[in-house]
Amino acid sequence: MNDLFAPLFEFFYYTVPFSDDLYAEGLYASLGLCNVLISLFFAVLFYYIINRPAFSKWYHWLIILLINFGVAFTLGIVLPQTKFVALGIEYHSEYYIFGLMNALIASSFYFIISFMIRWWSTNAKRTPFPH
Amino acid sequence: MKVFKKQPILLIAIGVLLLTSCGDDPRDKLDNKINVGIRNGNNIEEKEWNELTKYILENKGEFPNLMEDEKVNTNKLTDHILTLSEKRRGQPDPEIFNPKSVNGNPIKSHVKVFIENSGSMDGYVRGIKDFEIVIGKLLVLSKDFCSQNAKSNFDVFFVNKKVYPAPEIKELTDFARALEPTLSSPYNKGDRSESILNGVIKSIIDSTSENSISILISDCIYSLEPTKDTKGSLGYQQNGTMEVFLNKFRSSNLNFTTCIYKMISDYEGNYFPYDYDPKKKNSISLYNIQAKRPYYIWVIGEFERVSDFIKKINFNSLKGFQNSIILSDLTNEKQPYYSVLKETNKVGSFKQTDRGKRDVKSINDIQFDGGTLQFAIAIDLGNIPVDLSYLSNPKNYVVPDGFIVRSIKKIDRNKLSQRDFVTVEKTTATHFITVSTTNKFTIQDLKLELSYKIPAWVEQSNSLDDRNIKDELDKTFGLAYLVQGVSEAYATQNPEQTSYFKITITIKK
Amino acid sequence: MAKLYVFGIGGTGARVIKSLAMLLASGVKSNFTEIVPIIIDPDKSGGDLNRTINALNDYQSIHNEIGDFEKNNFFKTKITTLSEVISEGNGNPNVIDGFRYEIEGVQSDTFEDFIGYGSLDKSNKYLANLLFSDENLSSNLDVGFKGNPNIGSVVLNQFSKSDAFGAFASNFKNEDSIFIVSSIFGGTGASGFPLILKNIREGKIFTGNEKQGKTHQFLKDAIIGAITIQPYFKVTNNKKSKIDSQGFITKTKAALHYYSRNVTGNKSLNSMYYIGDFDTKEYTNVEGGRDQKNDAHFVELAAALSIIDFSNSYSSLKTVNGKATNQITFKEFGIDNTTQDIQFTDLSQSTNSIIRSRLSEYFYFNLFLKVKLRNELKHPYATAYTSKIDTNFIELNPFYLTLSRFNKEFRIWLGELYRNEVHFKPFNIEVITNEKTKEVEDISVTDSSIFSIVNGVSEKKSIWEYTPFPKKNYELYISQLNKAAEEVGNSTLSKRFMGTFSLATKSIVNQKLY
C-alpha cells in the first residue's frame, strides 16, 4: 500500500532524504489510509449523519472540509514527527510543507468522495454544487 | 438522476480495507516468529532458537544489531526477545534457550615467542632500548593471553643458528636490564655469530601447529653469499622463503595467517652490510648517532587464533609501531556491510532504486551537476586485515573506467550529514568512501575493490644496497624480497585472491 | 363514477359549499369521486356567492392539474359544474352558468311584476293582498327574498320548469345521489328546499309549455339527503332592512312544521341532518348585495361534514318509486365540550378522525407556502429534480398562482372561523383585518415553534429530541419535504409539488402532533 500512495504524495512534495524516510517508515501507507478513512468519515458525517437542511449550504460543506484539512495537516506533521524523533532523525520545515500537502490530498479525497456519495443524502444532495 | 442504489458506499469501504496489505519487512517477520514462539508455552526452545538464528543469518543484512563477527550474538538476541515479551501485559519473562558457547575454540592457544639473538641484533639490546621495552610488554601480554586456570601455555626461545629454549626469560622481571649482549646475560645463548633467515623462518613455521601461535622477533635481513649480483642473490633468498611457506601449506590444511609488523627502535651497535668480510672489518658503526633502526615482529598461526591474538595485543599501540602486512586465505571472507549515503558528499542527484530495502545498493534516476556525479558509500572495513594507511590510500582501490575514488575516511559525526549519520550509527559501518564519475553517457555499475597487494611501505622500507646504511637507517636490506617471497607463497595457494573485498553499486539512468 | 349533486340554497348554502370545498381541498375523503355543487340563489351579486364560486373555480383548476396523482392527497375529489356534466352528456351547457343556477325573472322585477299583479283581476288582487303585504309586493326580487319564504316559494317554483333542471334530470344516473343544503330561517333556503325536493321526487320534467312531462325514474328514485340549518346568528336592528332576526324563530317553527308533513313525513327524503346553535353572534344587517359577506361560521363547516357523512353512509339508503323505503336517518351534529372557543380537543373523536389531521396538514402546507417557500428554494426537494420548484414557478406558473389564491381564501376562511362566535380556534393564529372594511384579509402565525400552534395539543416528543441538535420546526419540515420529494420522484412540476407537500405534511403531522 505504501507503493500505492507514494507516487501520489511525492507528486505533491518530494525531497530527499525526507521522502525516502517517509517511505521507509511506511508513513505513506498509514497517512494515505488515514486520509481516505478520515475524509470518508467527514463526508459521511456531513451527508448522512448530520444531513440537515439548516446545515447544507456550500459553506457548511466547506467548514467540514476545513476541519478535515486541519486534521490532515496535524496528522501529516505529528505522525512523521513522532516516528522520526524516535529514530533520532531531525527535520524542520519539511514537516510543515508535508503537512500542508497531506491536508491538500485529504481535501481532494473529501471532495471526490463528496461527489460520489452525496446522491443519497436526503437533505444535502445538492451541496456544494447543485447538479 | 442516476438510479443506482445505496451500495457503492460499501464498495468504497471494502476497497479501502483491501488496500491494507501486510508489510513484508524482515524485522517484522522476525518479531512475528518470536511472538509466536513466546505465545506457545511462554518459552523459546532449542528448536525455535535455531529457527530464529537461521532466519537472522539468512537475512543478516537486516539485523546488524543482532550480529557480531558474522555470527548471531546470543546476548543481543536474548535481549531482543525479552524486550518483545515485555510488551505483553502481565506475563512473566519467557524461558529462552541458551546455547552453550560454541563460539571460539575451547582450547586456549599456545604461544611461542622466538627472539633472534644473532650478532646483528645486539644493537637493539645494548643498554635500555625501546626494543626491550616493547618485547618485554609483548611477553607479558602473551603470557596473559595464554593463561588458563593459572597455567600458561607460553614459551620463549632464542634463535640464531638453532632454536634454544629460554624458560628463564619467561620469569624475568627486569627484562630490559637483563638482556645485554654480554656473556653473562641470559641473552647469550647458542651460536650468535650468524643466522640464516630462511632457516629461522622454517624453524618457526615448523613449530606452529593447530593450537599454537608463533611469534618471531628479528631484523629480517637476508645474509647473502658473497656475490656481485645482489639482486639475483636476493631473488634466490626470496624463493627460499616461498618454499618454506609452500611446504607448510602443503603439509597442513590450516588457514594459515602471517602478520608482519615493522617496528622502530633506538639502536647502538655495528651494522654488517651485505658485503661484510670479517677480514676486511667493514662493519659500519652506528654508535652515538641516536640511530633508529627497524625490526620486525611476525605472528604466525591459525587464522582465528591469530585474529584473536592481534586484537588483544593491539600492535598499533606498541611503541615504535610503523606498518603492518597481514597475509592469509581470505576466500571465506564475506562481503562487508555497505550502503550508499543519501546526502554526504553528494554532487548531482539520484534515487534509491528499491526503497523497500534498508541498505542502498542500487541507485537510479541519476542527474549530473556540472558534469559530475559524486556520492559516498558507508562501509564496514573493521575486519579488513590491513593498515589504516593502506585503507585510506585511494590508489589501493580498483574501480571501473570513468570512476575515481576520491577519499576514504573514518565515519565521524562531523563529516557526515546529520541524517546519514543517524543511519550509519545503527550499522557496523566504520568508514565512508567517496566516489565520483563524469561519464554521463556511458554510465555503468560501480564495482569497487580493495586490491590485495603488497602495501607501499614495504617497497619504501626496502634497501637494495645497505652499504650506505647511514642514509637509509629506516630501511631493511632485501625486505621487499622477503615479503614478496611470503606473498608469492600465498598467491600460489590462492591465485584468485586479488582483492580484500568487492562491492557493487548498480547504477541506472 | 358516482356523482353527488349538492344543491346549496341561499347564502347559507353557498357558505356551506365553500366550507365543503375547503375540507375537500385538505384531503377529507368522500366516497363520491365527483361532486357537483349547484348553488341556487337569486341574489346574483351576493358577496358570499362570489367568494364561493371563485373558490370552486380555483379548486377545479387545481384538481384538473393534479387530482389524479396518487401520491398527493389534497384536492382529491373532483368538483364539476353541471354545465360540464351536461357537456359530457352532449347537451347544451349554457342552460346553467357554471356552479350557479340563475333563477329567472328576478333580474329587475318587483314581486308585483313577477306575479303579474297588474294583470290580475280584482278578486285575485284581493287574494294577493291577503297573502302578501304591500312591502312584499313592492320588493325588488334581485336581492333574494329577504327572509320571506312566502315570496320565495312562489318564485322558486319555476325551477322545475327550467332547462337547467331538465338537463340535470337527463344526466342524472342511477348511481348518483343528491344532497340539499339550506337554512330553515332564511328567505331563499327555507322555501327552496322543499320545492326542489318536491320537483325531484315528482321526477317529471316539463319543458316549455308541455302539460305532461318526461319521467326520469333514476331521479325519482334517487337517494337524497339534506341538511337544514337552524338559526345560529342574528342581524342587527336596522330599520332600513326588511330582514328582522326576531322573526327567525317563528319562521323556523313554521317551516319545521311543514317539513314534518311534506319532507320527512311523506318519506321523500332518505336522510335528514340538523344543526343549530345559540344565536349569539350579531351580523351587520345588510340586505344582500355585494356587502352581504358574512364571516364563515363553524356551523357551516359542521354542515359540510354532513355531506361527508352522507357520502359515507348513503349505501344503506334506498328509494323505490319516489319513496324512501329503508329507515330514514335523522342526525344532529354535536361536539364534546360546550364552549365558545372550539378546539380540536372539544370535538368528538369521530369528527376529529375526519378533519383533524387533514386540516392540520393543509394548514401547514398553506403556512409554508406563505412564509417560507420563497426563501427555501435551494433545498433538494425543490432543485434536485428535472422539474424544479424555483422563483419562476412561484411568480409565473399559473397553477401556483391559482393555488396561492385558493390558499389565501383558505386562510381568510380560517380567520373568519376564528373571529366568529362561536370561535373555531384549532390553531393559534392572529387574524389580520382590513382597517376600513373590517374584513379578514389574512392570518399569521407568530410562534416560531410551529408544532405548538395546535391549541390543546402539545408537540409530540420522539427519541430524536434526545439526540444533540435535534431537528426542529421548519428544519424538520424541510427535511421531511426532502424525504417526501425522494418518494414522489420525478413527475410534472405541479404534481411533484403537491405530492411532495402532501406526503411531507402528513409525515410531520403524524410525527409531531397526532
Of B37-51, C257-271, C303-317, least confident by mean pLDDT is B37-51
Side-chain-side CA neighbours of residue C89 (13 Å): 17
C50-75: pLDDT as tens digits: 888 999 999 999 999 998 999 999 99
User: What angle, rounded to 10 degrees, do the helices at C398-419 and C349-371 form?
Assistant: 130
Top CATH class of C3-106+146-334 equals alpha beta
Segments forming the whole domain that contains residue B394: 338-451
DSSP B347: B
Q: Are residues B265 and B346 in the same domain?
A: no
Taking the Cβ of residue A33 and every Cβ of chain C, the question of whether any pair is shorter than 8 Å is answered with: no
Structural domain boundaries in chain C = 3-106+146-334, 108-141, 346-512
B47-67: pLDDT as tens digits: 888 888 888 888 877 787 888
Cα–Cα distance between B192 and B180 in angstroms, integer? Answer: 13
Cβ C267 vs Cβ C330: under 8 Å:
no
Residue B275 has pLDDT above 70, yes or no: yes
- Please give the share of chain C, as a percent, with pLDDT higher than 70: 85
Cell of B370: 556540472
* Predicted local confidence at residue C42, as pLDDT: 67
| B159 inside domain | yes
Query: For residue B1, which residues of chain C lie inside 8 Å, CB to CB?
Result: 384-386, 490
- Please give the share of chain B, as a percent, with pLDDT higher than 70: 92
Q: Are residues B127 and B261 in the same domain?
A: yes
Residue C286 has pLDDT above 70, yes or no: no
Question: Which pairing describes strands C34-40 and C78-79: parallel, antiparallel, or unpaired?
Answer: parallel
Taking the Cβ of residue C503 and every Cβ of chain A, the question of whether any pair is shorter than 8 Å is answered with: no
User: Of B46, B62, B96, which residue constitutes the final position of a domain?
Assistant: B96
Average pLDDT in the C362-384 region?
93
Cα–Cα distance between C78 and C24 in angstroms, integer? Answer: 9
Q: Are residues B318 and B344 in the same domain?
A: no
Cβ C432 vs Cβ C415: under 8 Å:
yes
Residue of B nearest to A131 (CA): B1
Cβ B259 vs Cβ B487: under 8 Å:
no
Mean pLDDT for all residues in chain B: 84
Residue B247, helix vs strand vs coil: helix
Side-chain-side CA neighbours of residue C433 (13 Å): 10
C125-136: pLDDT as tens digits: 888 888 877 777
**Listed residue (A108, A119, A122, A129) closest to A50, CA to CA:** A122
| B232 inside domain | no
What is the DSSP annotation of B146-192?
Answer: HEETTEE-EEEEEESSSEEE-HHHHH-SSHHHH--SSTTSTT--S-T
Out of B103-107, B148-152, C447-451, the most confident range is C447-451
Dihedral (Cα; B133, B136, B138, B141), 10-degree rounding: -120
Q: Are residues B178 and B290 in the same domain?
A: yes
Residue of C nearest to B2 (CA): C385
Quick check: C471 and A52 CB within 8 A? yes
State the Cα angle at A130 between A127 and B4, rounded to 5°.
85
**Listed residue (A108, A130, A107, A106) closest to A118, CA to CA:** A130
B374-418: pLDDT as tens digits: 999 999 998 888 888 889 999 999 999 999 999 999 999 899 988
User: What angle, rounded to 10 degrees, do the helices at A93-117 and A27-44 form?
Assistant: 40
Cell of B397: 582501490
Residue C343 has pLDDT above 70, yes or no: yes
Question: How far C337 CA sits from the closest chain A CA (Å)?
Answer: 41
Residue-level pLDDT, tens digit, chain A, 131 residues: 888 899 999 999 998 889 988 998 889 999 999 999 999 999 999 999 988 898 989 999 999 999 999 999 999 999 999 999 988 888 999 999 999 999 999 999 999 999 999 999 999 888 888 77
User: What angle, rounded to 10 degrees, do the helices at A2-12 and A27-44 form?
Assistant: 80
Question: How far C481 CA sits from the closest chain A CA (Å)?
Answer: 9
C119, burial (CB in 10 Å: exposed 0-12, middle 13-18, buried 19+): exposed
| Optimal mutation site among A52, A57, A131, interface C, most CBs of chain C within 10 A | A52
Residue B22 has pLDDT above 60, yes or no: no
Select from C376, C383, C469 the Cβ nearest to the Cβ of A126.
Answer: C383
Residues 6+ apart with CB under 8 A from B471: none
Reported pTM: 0.74
Residue C44 has pLDDT above 60, yes or no: no
Side-chain-side CA neighbours of residue B323 (13 Å): 16
* pLDDT band at residue C246 using 50, 70 and 90 as cut-offs: low
Taking the Cβ of residue C344 and every Cβ of chain B, the question of whether any pair is shorter than 8 Å is answered with: no
Cβ A101 vs Cβ A35: under 8 Å:
no
Residue C496 has pLDDT above 80, yes or no: yes
Taking the Cβ of residue B418 and every Cβ of chain A, the question of whether any pair is shorter than 8 Å is answered with: yes
Q: Which of residues 1-30 of B touch C (CB under 8 A)?
A: 1
* Predicted local confidence at residue C381, as pLDDT: 93
* pLDDT band at residue B188 using 50, 70 and 90 as cut-offs: confident
User: Of B66, B96, B126, which residue constitutes the final position of a domain?
Assistant: B96
C195-223: pLDDT as tens digits: 888 888 887 666 655 556 667 788 888 99
Check residues C219 and B25 and name the one with the higher pLDDT.
C219
Average pLDDT in the C296-321 region?
91
* Predicted local confidence at residue A71, as pLDDT: 96
Cα–Cα distance between C395 and C374 in angstroms, integer? Answer: 10
Quick check: A16 and B1 CB within 8 A? no
* Predicted local confidence at residue B314, as pLDDT: 85
How many structural domains are present in chain B? 3
Side-chain-side CA neighbours of residue C443 (13 Å): 26
* pLDDT band at residue C391 using 50, 70 and 90 as cut-offs: very high
| Contacts of C among chains (3+ CB pairs under 8 A) | A, B
Average pLDDT in the C176-183 region?
92
* Predicted local confidence at residue B20, as pLDDT: 45
* Predicted local confidence at residue B23, as pLDDT: 46
Quick check: A90 and B12 CB within 8 A? no
Cβ B397 vs Cβ B405: under 8 Å:
yes
Taking the Cβ of residue A56 and every Cβ of chain C, the question of whether any pair is shorter than 8 Å is answered with: yes
* Predicted local confidence at residue C372, as pLDDT: 93
* Predicted local confidence at residue B3, as pLDDT: 42
b/e for B94-120, b at 16 or more Cβ within 10 A? bebbeeeeeeeeeebbbbbbbbbbbbb
Average pLDDT in the C385-411 region?
94
Cα–Cα distance between B364 and B267 in angstroms, integer? Answer: 59
B78-94: pLDDT as tens digits: 888 888 877 776 677 77
B219-269: pLDDT as tens digits: 998 888 777 778 888 888 899 999 999 998 888 877 889 999 999 999 998
Q: Which of residues 358-397 of C touch B (CB under 8 A)?
A: 384-386
Cell of C175: 348511481
* Predicted local confidence at residue C453, as pLDDT: 92
Quick check: A116 and B351 CB within 8 A? no
Residue B433 has pLDDT above 90, yes or no: yes
